[in-house]
Structure 1
Amino acid sequence: MSGGVRGVGVDTVDLGAFAASLAEPGTRFADAFTATERRQCRERAAARGADPSSSAPARREDPLARHLAGRWAVKEAVIKAWSAALYGSPPPIAPDLLRWQEIETVCDAWGRPAVRLSGEVARQVAATVGQDVRWHVSLSHDGDTAVAFVVLEGP
């Protein structure tokens, strides 16, 4: 594809605050994640559970929330990258009408993240920046923070 960088987005998530919000009844995070995101996060949390051979001090954290926080950071970074591509134009989807599940982080067999859009988000991205866009994602955890960096590349 010939094209260039259309937008860049970055987001950080405090793991403790995210876990507390995730645990609250009626939280907006209840419907923010797809079944695939939840499954992949459960699998990743189980695979990276407490390692008895590790010399690192044990943290009191919810491993599932840790991985979901990374997915949340990706969702926010996608919106920021898309928004940067639309600089000077109003958002095509009102913030209160955005369906967060339509921005999905999926990982390949080696754990590398990618973005998959669906529904109205996919339609509006195609209408505003083109159908042949690519999302480049970097996702990391460090200490009590998850961070995502997203680049929107398009025609």
Structure 2
Amino acid sequence: MISIGTDLVHISAFAEQLAQPGSSFMEVFSAGERRKANERQGSRYAEHLAGRWAAKESFIKAWSQAIYGQPPVIAEEAVVWRDIEVRADAWGRVAIELAPELAAVVRESIGEFSSSLSISHDGDYAVATCVLTIQ
């Protein structure tokens, strides 16, 4: 079985959220994701993180779609977003890496799985698609 999730992020609106005084939105990103974003200059910083946010959302949507007709496994407000980490290889190809506890919860709900991820940016938008292949 294959399950797909896609998310679209408006980069300038996302940048406004990041810039709000007292915002804790950066906490949804892992230390590694924040470190990589800090390597970007100016608007590329928000663009980079918007793509990562879209990727996290696309994973949740793919997982949710995989259990269509069943109640959610984790309440939306209980998701620890930094447990869904987007990592890039030396050539910039991205993948989802889950914290061990979250990976166990996902496997318990859908069985063994693998994921594929794509992130793209165009103008003021970032889009990500996650495909879960469930064995």
> TM bucket by the smaller chain?
over 0.9
Equivalence for 2:16: 20
Q: Name the amino acid aligned to 1:147.
A: V
Matches within 5 A, 1:95-114: 95-114=76-95
Match of 1:38 in 2: 34
Q: What is the rounded CA distance, in whole Å, between the counterparts of 1:109 and 1:76 in structure 2?
A: 24
Q: Which has the larger radius of gyration?
A: 1
**Partners of 1:15 and 1:69 within 8 A in 2:** yes
Query: Which segments of 5 or more consecutive residues in structure 1 lack a partner in the other structure?
Result: 47-60
In structure 2, the CA distance between the partners of 1:123 and 1:25, relative to structure 1 (3 Å rule), is: farther
> What amino acid is the match of 2:123?
G
Task: Please give the root-mean-square deviation of Cα atoms over the aligned residues, in Å.
Answer: 1.4
Identify unmatched segments of 5+ residues in structure 2.
none
The whole-number CA distance in structure 1 between the counterparts of 2:100 and 2:116 is 20
> TM-score scaled by structure 2?
0.93
Give structure 1 regions of 4+ aligned residues with deviation exceeding 4 angstroms. Answer: none
TM-score (norm 1): 0.82
Matched, 1:92 2:64: no
**Aligned with 1:21: secondary structure?**
helix
Give, in whole Å, the separation in 1 of the partners of 2:107 and 2:95.
Answer: 17
How many Å apart are 1:28 and its aligned residue?
4.5
Q: Name the count of aligned residue pairs.
A: 135
Partner of 2:44 in structure 1?
Answer: 63
Q: Percent identity?
A: 47
Aligned to 2:6: 10
Query: What amino acid does structure 1 have at the position aligned with 2:81?
Result: W
- SS of the equivalent of 1:8 reads strand
